Amino acid sequence: LKEVETSLSRFEQNGIPVKGVILNSIFRRASAYQDYGYYEYEYKSDAK
């Protein structure tokens, strides 16, 4: 998720440690690797 990477980078540049994140509007869908517990995540922003 490019938006998350950019946000984390900005926090790090300002010396702010990030210990965790909460993501809203993330939809989990099973992929072909479901047997191994692998899932893909999709980000949808609310364009206003």
Is there a domain that residue 13 lies in? no
Judge whether residue 48 has pLDDT over 60: no
Domain span at residue 30 reads 20-48
> pTM for the full model?
0.45
Q: Which residues make Cβ contacts (< 8 Å) with residue 27, sequence separation at least 6? A: 41, 42, 44
Range 25-37 average pLDDT: 56
- In the chain, how many domains are there? 1
